[in-house]
Amino acid sequence: MEWTPGGSDQDIEDRRDESGGGSGFGGFGGVHLGIGGVIVVGVLSLVFHQNFFALLSGSGSGTGSGVAPSGAMHAPNTQSDQQEKPEYEFVKFVLNDVQINWDTTLQAQTGIPYHHAKLVLYRDAFPSACGEAQTAVGPFYCPGDEKVYLDLGFFNELAQRFGAPGKFAQAYVIAHEIGHHVQKLRGIEGKVRQLQEGNPGEQNPLSVRLELQADCYAGVWGFSTEQRGIINDADITQGLNAAAAVGDDRLQRMAGRAVSPDSFTHGSSAQRVGWFKRGMARGKLSDCNTFGNSLN
């Protein structure tokens, strides 16, 4: 993937030196987990998009009203910050590229103006308007404050534990989360939440459709990068591998559970790959109608 460091960091809130602390991975409110237990709970958190670590500590399901503190952003200054400088620069490049693309694409294809989301970098744990962000839960978009929350350590997990290495695999993750921001701006996210509240039995199927659409939106950005020569076939393979790596069926198998489609919240590996490829094929939002097309 062709990328260059530099560029504006106005859409990044670097909270790495303000976050962390708490009980860490070793213990949760008196409940002590071994490494195996941490992996299982972490995978379940990813599968069900719910903070099971918070449940163990009695702090809720991750849907509270905590709000990140205000204040001036800071440039990387600790030793850990400096070690993560290449990752910081890459995240900044991808975030800027994705949002600049949506500046024109969303308006041109839907008539809806785009405004930028923020991306919060943190370590271990940090409060958000959707509850506490934790490394084990993975990156997520919070519609309550229109921010993406990311611990850079997740990229190591993506490569080593989920078997999806490469820069474009990392870029796919960021583009997927910004896809959720596009859904909010289009009013899709709000409508889905209302439908879920009115039809509890449809909560998971609706969540799957929402997530697959965000995968497709990531593909819409991917189409733009391919047209501009930023990525090649090898990069596309990395993105597809990342989509497959976080399919519900694969994550359930990793957790030692039988595959249960009724419990899917994000879609199977095949579905996630398929919708990402659909977005990349033409770069059209109209191709991403997961609520009207078959999911197979």
Q: Give, in degrees to the nearest 5, the angle at Cα 103 between 287 and 216.
A: 25
| Model pLDDT for residues 176-228, shown as the tens digit of each residue | 999 999 999 999 999 999 998 999 889 999 999 999 999 999 999 999 999 88
Q: Are 248 and 254 in contact (CB under 8 A)?
A: no
Give the range of the structural domain holding residue 220, as residue numbers without chain letter.
12-288
Could you tell me which residues come within 8 angstroms of residue 196 by beta carbon, excluding any fewer than 6 positions away?
A: 202, 203, 206, 207
Q: Evaluate the CA torsion angle 43, 24, 22, 149 in order and state its sign.
A: negative
In the prediction, which pLDDT does 283 show? 96
Unique residue bearing structure tokens 């999911």: 295
Does residue 41 lie within any of the structural domains? yes
Q: Are 222 and 280 in contact (CB under 8 A)?
A: yes
User: Which residues, given as ranges, of the chain have pLDDT below 50?
Assistant: 21-41, 51-76, 294-296
In the prediction, which pLDDT does 178 show? 97
In the prediction, which pLDDT does 240 show? 80
Does residue 108 lie within any of the structural domains? yes
In the prediction, which pLDDT does 46 show? 54
Neighbours of 93 (CB within 10 A): 20
In the prediction, which pLDDT does 183 show? 96
Q: Is the pTM of this model over 0.85?
A: no
How many domains are contained in the chain?
A: 1
Does residue 295 lie within any of the structural domains? no
Does residue 251 lie within any of the structural domains? yes
Closest C-alpha among 10, 52, 47, 5 to residue 29: 52
Does residue 4 lie within any of the structural domains? no
| Residue 9, strand partner residues | none
Does residue 189 lie within any of the structural domains? yes
Does residue 36 lie within any of the structural domains? yes
- For residue 86, the SS3 value is helix
Does residue 1 lie within any of the structural domains? no
- For residue 133, the SS3 value is strand
Q: Give, in degrees to the nearest 5, the angle at Cα 289 between 63 and 268.
A: 65
